[in-house]
Structures are given as C-alpha cells and as structure tokens.
Structure 1
C-alpha cells in the first residue's frame, strides 16, 4: 500500500504533524492507519446537501470498520435554485472551479491517502469529479440522493420548478392565486437533490456510469435507510481502493467517459453534462473529444429512460425501476463493460452481482430492443449561428418542434427576456434570443431557466423557441438551444441577430442557422463592438478574463492571463 500520509506521519522528524492531529483528539493508533479525507459539502443552503451530516457519519463508520481514519472538511456548494434569475447565477458555474480547487488544495495540504467526496448538486458533483481526476488518488463520490416529489400539479408530482411554471400560468390567469400558493408548502416534501432529472441528478447518475460512485449510490432517495447503508459501504470501499492503489484515473478513462455519454443520451440527461464531462476529461488529461462523441453517439444511442421533464415520472421512480444499474445492464452490448469502478470490480462484474429491490417498470426504463426512441435525448447543433456548437435536448420536447423556423426577438440579458414574456410581448412563432449570457459575457453562463418556465406557463412552449449563449436547467423543456459558441461577447453570430430575422432550428440535420445572407452577416459583424465586462473586480472579474467557451467546458484557462 502506497500511503501518502506516511510522508508526514511516520518518523521522529514528523512529530510536529502528529502533535497537530492529536490536538484534535486523534490517537497514535489513528495516525498509523490510512488517512481518508471526507470532502463534505453539507450546508443549510442546499436541500440536496442537508442530509450530508448523517451520510458523512456513516461513511466514517465504514472507514473505521475497514481500518482507516476519516478526516472531514467542508466544501462550499451553491444551490442553482436559489441563484436563479438574479446576479447570484453569475457565480454558479464559476463556483465549480472553486470547488475543484479547494478539494485539490485540502488533499495536497494534508496528503490524504484517499478521498470520499460528498455532494449532490449541479456544480458540486462535477467540481468534485474534476478534483478527483486532477489529484489521481483513490476517490469515491457519494451524493445525498434525490428528494421525493410533491403534490400533483399539471399532470405530475410537483417540485420547486412547478412554482415557476405556475407563476407563468398565474400571469396568464390559468390558475388561481390559491392554487399557486398551495405549491409553496407541498411541492418539496423532503430534502434531497431536485426530484426531477436536472443537472444535479444527471451528474449523480453519470458519476455512477463513470464508475466513480457505487451502484445505486447516485439515485437512492435522500430520506431512505438505504442511503445510510450505501454511505457505510462507500467508507469500506474507499479503503479497498487505497489498499489496491486504484486511483481516479484508473477509473476515469476515455472509455468510461464514453460510457457516461451513452448513459446521458439514453436517459435524456441535462445539456450541462456536455460541458461538465468535457471539463472532467480535461482534468484527467484524456484524449477524448467529448463534444464530438456527443454528436456522433446521439445519432445511434437509443433513449431507454424517460424522467421528468421528459415524462411525469421522477428520480425515485427511476431508482425503483432499476436506475443507472438497469441502464448499464440493458446497454451492456454497446458500452465498455471492462472498465474498473470504485467497487474494485468492473462494470460487467457490478452488473452480474447487482440485486434489484423493486420490479421492473417499462414506463420509466425500456429494454434496448424496445426503446422510447432510436436516437439519444441530447444533440449537438452547428450552423452559421453556432459555428462551434449549440446544445439542445430533443428528448425533452415534442417532436413537432424538431424543425422550427421563426422570427427572432432579441434580448441582451435574461431579465429583459423574462419581463417581455410575462408582459405578453412574446407570441407564437417567435424565436427568443438571449445573448451576452455566455461564460465571458454573462459572466458565468447563467441558466435561462425562468424564461423557459414562463413560456411554458403562458402556453407558448410548443409554439416558440429560445436560443442563447447561456445555459439551461436540466428541468427545462420546450424547443431550446443553449451553449451557443462563439458567444456574443466574443463576437459570435448570435451578437448580430436583429429583431425580425428568421432563424431555423433543425434537429434532424443537427443545424442552427440565421436565415440571412453571408454578406449581411459579415457586414453586421464588422460594425459590432466588444462590450465592456460587467464585472471588473473580485472572482467574477478574474473568471470573465480567463473563462473558456462553452464548447471547451467553460473551464478557467490560466494561460489567458
């Protein structure tokens, strides 16, 4: 066993470090064991992390039981829900880099022999996986699990996003104020990551697919006894990884990233997964081109699962139908099953030994012979409006929208678009263009979550489209294209679209085009002027200077300084 901690805990010369640990109650015996860091994103700010104190304790129990010493430390984590629709959303995507940097820093400062990463939500899970790939020491990521769905509303169990949809309905006088207010108390009955397949649950599921989370660890409900049992099991397994020197980069490989992409496509996961997997692959120094893989695999990977927002079924329904383990089993003929996982077994061995607790449910997960569709639920679009890329999620909207042509109505911020939608200025046939919301221009590539929910609430989700250099929440549905690169702040074509221009979105052809002549586009681009940065100080002042485009994962490229 190669113990990093021995460099500071063994030998007379290292008494200083042992004395420092003993000031906190650690014993001589504790310090002879492998030291396992527990990076815990617990807080009272994020419902997906609210139960992580209890989860952490059971992880500690497992580590002690298997002969290690756990050392817990805190990690920040912001809730996308709290940040929606105001300046806080500028910080959400950039916080991913802070999380990765802080986990890396603590692991290196303390020379941990292994890490258990506790986080459930949108930027915390990818940030932690980025740190694991960067460090290349034994690591396991364990989420806190999804919350239960709430009272029935609009044909499905409600969640916090139902309130935003309902506000659009209220503005259109489609629901009463009493119906609207009912959701406040009954839409989120438990803690946990959002009950739908947003970015949080997408990335928790993809961590399983990558092999970085134990089977079912990404989808067991937050409030269940099984969540605590899987926590103790995780503590035991991290000790086995340390003993066998199974490090993160032995698990995060080109093939395991490809497995995760296929699972994302098969379950119609969040479009944000494209940039997060790109960033994780970059930290692992892999050769895989995640964007190209999404493009190619989306055309031949069947859609096997339908989860809210693609259906009325939520994450707990998905878990009970077999979860990620069932998808891996169904797709075993088209994924790399020889890949190592944090169980110290391969994907194939995990499939062979898995025991399903609940009966199959083909309304949630289909077999590979009878899929919901023969193409994946996420697609990469290109064209004169998105020369590098645009990302959409056809698995979450009606097929009648797979070809949409409409008239542009342009906004230079999320807030301006939302005001126009609520005041009735958007009509059937419009393509809402929201720009200057990319990694640099936003900065921070805010989500256009509210705009899409308001369109839905006002009955426009099947008659309008929305395109942006910003992002979308995994809960959004309707015809949308995000991650448009180059972004407006970098002089991308989206910057020079004018009200009244015709825009064509074609899912079948994987294209996104502004229907004006090339000569007119070039003329407008010559007249365009780069805007002043919105933030010039603090963390966002740094981020907007060195953020890469959405097509590169919106990572911070320090060589730009």
Structure 2
C-alpha cells in the first residue's frame, strides 16, 4: 500500500460538497481548521471517571493519545463513555448494573463513532467491564483501532505486607469471626488502595488487559505497565500515532482478532490463572468480531496450557510484581518458545505476534512470579468447564489453589445474595454445605452480579475449601475457594438450578468435569411441572431492557445476538 494513500475515508464527507458546510462549521467550533478537514478523524474513547481509582487518571491518558494521533497526522477528538466501579458496586443491588455496563460501553462507543463517521479509534479502559466493552465496539465497527489499558494499581502496605482490595472483603469475615478488631479492620480499609489503577491481582481487569494484549489489540507490554508508571503516558501517545499507520496499511480489527488470536488470549489467561469472567468477555468480543468461539475452544486450549503464575487471589504476587520481572510480553515469549502461541497472528504494531515477541525481553533471572514449565502449579489450565444434569449448557470453575478436586455435600438454597449473606453472618453455613445462590443470572439478577463478598466472607470465616458455592451468577476475579459460577441455563430461564431443594445431594468433580444433582430425571420433571417463572425483578429501564434481551452466560451474556 502506497504511503501517499489518501487517508480520508468516511470523514471525506466532511470536506467535500457544499451541503457539508454545516458539518464543517460545527467542527470549527471545537478547534478544526482547513488542514484538519484533510486528515483522518480519530476518536479517542475515554473511560475517565472519578468514581473509582481504576479510571481516575485516564483523562490525562486520553490527552496523551490525542497528542499522539495529532503527531501521526490525524485529527483526533476525545469523547467519553461510562464505567462502573465493580468493587464499590459489590455486595448490594448496584452490582446488577456491572455486567450490563459492558453493553452500554460497547453501544455508546459504537454510537458515537458511527454517528460522527470517524476513521479510527483509540480506546482506553480500566475497570473490569471497560476492556471488553471497548473491544466489543471495536469488533463491531471494524475500523483501525488500538486499545490501551489504564494500568494496574500499586499494592497497598499494612504491617510490612502487601494488601489489596480483596483483603478488605476478607477482613469483614475475619472481623465477624472476632479474629480482628474494628481498629484493624479500619487499617485494612485505609491501606488497601493507595492510588490510581485497577485492582492489583490476577482479577478481571488485569485478566482482560492481558487477553487484549494476547489478541494483538494492544501495544506490547501495555497490559502490565502500572497505572502510575510514566511509560503509560508514552504508550497512549504511541497508540495515537499507530492509528494512521493502520489506516495506511489497511489493517482492521477483524484482521487481528482471528480465531487463532482468541486462542492466544485463552492461552495467556490459563497460564496466568485469570478470572472466570474471561469466558463471558472473550465470548462476547468474539461475537462482535464474527469469530465462532465456544466453551469447547476454551477446553481444547486449556488442556495444553500449564498454570505457571503465582498471582493473587490464590497466589502470592500482584500484577505490579509481574511487571517488575518482565510483564505479559515475557510470559508470552515463554509460551511461544513452548509452541503455545500462534506467532503468525497480526497485531496493531503491523507486525506479527512472533515478531513482537522476538523483540521482547525474557523473564528476569531468579524471578519467582512465573514458575518454570517443569514446576507448573498444574499441568493444564485452572479455569474449567463443568457439565451435568445441573448445568446442561455448562458452568465455570476456577480451581487454583485447591487441594481437593471433588466435593460432595448437602444443598442449602438461597434465592438472593442478601439471603446468603444473612445466613453466613448467622453461622448457618457449616463445613460440608453446598451453598446454592440462584435467580442471580443474566436475566434473573438481572445483570449476573458477582459474589465476591460471599466468597470473601466464607474464606474469612475459615470455610475456604470446606464449603462449595454454586450460582447462576458469577464471581469476581478476586474470588477463590471451591466456587462454581455461570450455571446455565439459569434459574430465571427454568434451568435445573431452579429445581434444586434444601437437602438435595450434589457432587462436583473437577477431574471428570461433572456437576451432578443426585435427583432422578423423573423427580426433576415433576419439580419442573410445579415450577413457576418469577416476575421480572426490574421490568423497565436499563436492567429491564437487559433482562429481556440478554443471552445465556454460555454465549457470553450478549444483548445483540439471536433472541432466545
């Protein structure tokens, strides 16, 4: 492709024809001049917000990206989209808005870029739903794009030890057990989050940032550069400059986000022991990029990828520690050397993944964050798909840090997170219980809320691994313990989880990947005949629309797919 190629694509309508004078007049009012009308218009999609440390610094990063786009020969404009602070929404009704916010982010970016006829996109995200939301819109629009992650938070310090937001949730359980007093609880609260950046462990934000880099949609290293590192600003400038190169070379997101690229993303998530939310988000991003991705693909890739990272929540280290020893590029370089990365996948640099990794440094000598392959924590990935008569479409479990692979127990059923919380606080949950939290799926929640506060309370009370938790909702990337989420079909859709009763026996086996309710098919049919679908909890507004449109979690909980 010639370097002299006319870069004006859709924005050409702004500069040609007398009937376009009003368009130009409005753009002059925001700073455009005659020369700008001859340049590609680049949208900088910012998720800046003061409601969370994850995104509080992104206003400056957006300006850096705009500066880079100007240097690269574009005419950039910043616009904003919304975001939800998952950690703040946790444990109350606000969590119902978290997963739907992913759709709002994707829809709003698509709407602005489509309406303004922009030529390219730099999207900058932070908290959990911003990365998938940005990438979903990029996949739909299929315009030259680069994604930049706002970066991870530095660990907090308390009594000489690193702590993070999950320590805050677990401290609540410890306080309720009498293990710590109110003064210590307050110290944890004040120390866990020291400044800008997304939650520091291998939780959902860092998981999806690593996945975005493995997809080839981010500048190499972007996912592990901390939020407060000065190089983060340079990454954003580079991203802005890259857009015109992508335009010149006709490189589009769907050229990058191929099936093989998604396999690379799954590989990295499995190797690092990422969040179960990666299933939801990668399925949704793949749908936006018109890539056929299913649970079977996750399982196929998982079986060949060892879990090699000692990262929280089940390990010792945080993402800042990974950055210090080489970051995600060094991990991918190691995986590529073992034949687990598709090196011929194209990336936003215009080079292949193999070319990028050839330039990357390896892991630091003597580092302890990433294990050698022959000392892997597990020989295959820790995020597994379970199926059985309780989850015909599948369920997802994260088996990191577990000393047991099979759990058999007696069911205690709850139809809301509040009911479950009250039972835990009252000491009603004991060793050997299988806690079932239902009617909290995509439709039933609505919004498929996370159960981090419940899992943290269970761990804080010393019941981690001694109690199983199953839900048609989902878990935070910070959750750990014997927990199974994403059970589908969900209760609100009449799935088998709606038919479970107190006292039923359940067997969960991670080795056979089965989740079995010890109730006969005949008995389940009788229970189904008596079951009545509950009224929609929120029949109007954002949550009402979401509940009416959303697909099964096994299909990514998307709202723009085929209605079921």
Distance 1:87 1:180, change over 3 A: same
Which residue number corresponds to residue 437 of structure 1?
Answer: 440
- Contact in 2 for aligned 1:330/1:368 (Cα 8 Å): no
Q: Distance in 2 between matches of 1:74 and 1:223?
A: 21
Q: Could you list the per-position Cα deviations for residues 171-204 of structure 1 after superposition, in whole angstroms to 9, with x for gaps in the alignment?
A: 0001121111101221111110001111111111
- Find the residue that maps to 2:469 and give its secondary structure: strand
- Contact in 1 for aligned 2:158/2:188 (Cα 8 Å): no
Q: Distance in 1 between matches of 2:194 and 2:129?
A: 23
TM-score calculated relative to the size of structure 1: 0.96
Are 1:516 and 2:519 an aligned pair? yes
Q: Could you list the per-position Cα deviations for residues 504-523 of structure 1 after superposition, in whole angstroms to 9, with x for gaps in the alignment?
A: 11010011111222222222
Deviation at 1:366, TM superposition (A): 2.5
Select 1:99's aligned residue among 98, 102, 105. Answer: 105
Are 1:463 and 2:466 an aligned pair? yes
| Mean CA deviation greater in 80-89 or 438-447 | 80-89
Are 1:237 and 2:214 an aligned pair? no
Deviation at 1:83, TM superposition (A): 1.0
Deviation at 1:553, TM superposition (A): 0.5
Q: Could you list the per-position Cα deviations for residues 287-331 of structure 1 after superposition, in whole angstroms to 9, with x for gaps in the alignment?
A: 2x3311112222221112221002110010112222221221111
Are 1:538 and 2:505 an aligned pair? no
Give runs of ≥4 in structure 1 deviating > 4 Å: none
Q: Distance in 1 between matches of 2:373 and 2:261?
A: 20
Count of aligned residue pairs for this structure pair: 556
- Contact in 1 for aligned 2:273/2:309 (Cα 8 Å): yes
- Find the residue that maps to 2:77 and give its secondary structure: strand
- Find the residue that maps to 2:65 and give its secondary structure: helix
Deviation at 1:368, TM superposition (A): 3.4
- Find the residue that maps to 1:483 and give its secondary structure: strand
- Contact in 2 for aligned 1:337/1:347 (Cα 8 Å): yes
Q: Distance in 2 between matches of 1:377 and 1:362?
A: 22
Which residue number corresponds to residue 332 of structure 2?
Answer: 328
Q: Distance in 1 between matches of 2:75 and 2:361?
A: 30
Deviation at 1:361, TM superposition (A): 5.2
Which residue number corresponds to residue 380 of structure 1?
Answer: 385
- Find the residue that maps to 2:305 and give its secondary structure: coil
- Contact in 2 for aligned 1:96/1:123 (Cα 8 Å): yes
Extract unaligned runs of 5+ from structure 1.
none
TM-score calculated relative to the size of structure 2: 0.96
Q: Distance in 1 between matches of 2:561 and 2:296?
A: 24
Q: Distance in 1 between matches of 2:406 and 2:152?
A: 34
TM alignment of 1:12-161, pairs within 5 A: 12-152=18-158, 157-161=162-166
Extract unaligned runs of 5+ from structure 2.
none
Select 1:299's aligned residue among 272, 297, 303. Answer: 303
Which residue number corresponds to residue 356 of structure 2?
Answer: 350
TM alignment of 1:416-435, pairs within 5 A: 416-435=419-438
Are 1:405 and 2:387 an aligned pair? no
Distance 1:516 1:223, change over 3 A: same
Deviation at 1:156, TM superposition (A): 5.7
Which residue number corresponds to residue 317 of structure 1?
Answer: 321
Deviation at 1:20, TM superposition (A): 1.0
Deviation at 1:381, TM superposition (A): 0.3
Which residue number corresponds to residue 226 of structure 2?
Answer: 221
Q: Could you list the per-position Cα deviations for residues 232-278 of structure 1 after superposition, in whole angstroms to 9, with x for gaps in the alignment?
A: 11112122112212111011111101110111111111101101111
Select 1:253's aligned residue among 251, 255, 258. Answer: 258
Q: Distance in 1 between matches of 2:82 and 2:26?
A: 25
Q: Distance in 1 between matches of 2:240 and 2:161?
A: 36
